[in-house]
Amino acid sequence: MDVLTSSKRIAVVGATGYAGGELCKLVAAHGGMQLASAMSARSEGGARVARTPGEVNVDAYTPELFAELDGVFVCAPHGASAPVVLAALEAGAAVVDLSADFRLSDPSVYESTYGLPHPAPELLSEAVYGLTEHARDAVAATRLVANPGCYPTSILLPLLPLFEHGLVSRESLIVADSKSGLSGAGKGASDRTHFGNVHENFLAYGVGTHRHTPEIHQHAGTDSIRFVPHLLPVERGILSTIYVQSAGGVDAEAIRSCLSERYADEPFVHVRRTGLPELKDVQRTNRCDMAVCDADGTVVIVSVLDNLLKGAAGQALQNMNLMLGLPEAEGVPCV
């Protein structure tokens, strides 16, 4: 059988952005998929996205092609993404949306967070929040996945097992002190992301107002998490330092054991027994590495990932693999 004939036909919409470019590379090298179309999220095309080997042309947004596809990755900005998702679903394609349009279940929370009415509230009840390690069966059974944000992924992966096993109370104060590389701000230039303002600089931003906060609260099941994001003068990667008060005197070793057991069979989540993970350990991989320490009675969890892979394109590919009946790890970079 012709390999291309048996491969799943995939489009990436928003292929000129950072996450879209990563997905073009991953799909082009995937053994069970073919990159049938790379589209701009706008009507004009003509850009080129570097990949290995060669390059791929990016065409204008052409929803008429969706009827020929098995899956569509949507990498458009919030608000602009939902109409693309609707068109792809109507054409019968499986969709992984990398915007924020389907991460929040309450349209009023979406409107207060993003400043516009939700563009497709009728889809919110069926969208599955694709934190893959915690939603595998639901992802495999749905036609629409809301891919999690990069910061929330780095925070929810270590916290959810601790909540589920009662080692940390959802009512206790939790601080998530998170630092992201510059690519997390997207490809659009601004004064804040200008080289001269970032180089040899480090800052907190969006304290108490960051748009990922409602997403973290909803999917953690608590609003007791204080999320403080920072901008690092590096290209890619997120490091989240999470401070928790354990329940009933549970110590760091018990929390480490819980996380180790929960993720023992997960190829993309590694819990260290010794040492602390660093950005360089996970950059250009789909891994989330974490470690647990005791700091004078406060348990500290350090969680690191690549914001463009495990925080975006890599996790999206995990989800699309499941939706299309392919092995979850196929084509997903681990090391």
Query: What residues are annotated to the active site?
Result: 150
Q: Which residues pair with 56 in a beta bridge?
A: 49
Q: What stretch of H or E contains 160?
A: helix 150-164
Decide if 230 contacts 307 (C-beta within 8 A). no
Integer Cα distance of 173 and 263 in angstroms: 25
C-alpha distances out from residue 129 to 40, 96, 121, 307, 310, Å: 25, 10, 15, 17, 14
Tell me which residue has tokens 């900005």.
77
CA–CA distance from 140 to each of 145, 326, 329 (Å)? Answer: 10, 10, 14
Place of tokens 């993003």: 114
Collect all residues with Cβ–Cβ distance below 8 Å to 290 and sequence separation of at least 6. 157, 158, 259, 269, 270, 271, 272, 277, 301, 302, 303, 304
Residue spans of beta strands (DSSP E) within 133-250? 144-146, 174-180, 203-204, 225-231, 238-244
Q: Which residues in 99-165 belong to E strands, given as ranges?
A: 128-129, 144-146
